[in-house]
Amino acid sequence: MLKLIEPTRAEPGNLDYVLFEQRDEQGTFYMREAFRDQAALDAHISMPYFKRFAATADDLLQEPLQSIFLEQVSA
């Protein structure tokens, strides 16, 4: 997951991409991602480095990837 950070942050539509590990449950990670719009997210998902990660995610992760989509309501 660390290998995704630098290239993703360089994508034109990326606004935020930060990896967190839960303090009281080591080995549990959260990636906070923000993209300008759906097109930027779609472009991210089509990047070769993301496709490589997605192809191996099931082998690397104890649970399947989960995406939670949020709408910003404050500045």
- Look at residue 42 in the predicted model and tell me its pLDDT: 97
How do the domains of the chain map onto residue ranges?
2-57
Query: Is the alpha carbon torsion for 5, 56, 41, 39 positive or negative?
Result: positive
- In DSSP notation, 4-73 reads HHHHHHTSTTEEEEEEEE-TTSTT-EEEEEEESSHHHHHHHHTSHHHHHHHHHHHHH-SS----------
Range 40-57 average pLDDT: 95
d(CA 37, CA 60): 28
pTM of the model: 0.87
- pLDDT(19) > 90: yes
Q: Is it the case that residue 64 has pLDDT exceeding 90?
A: no
Architecture category of domain 2-57 in CATH: 2-Layer Sandwich (3.30)
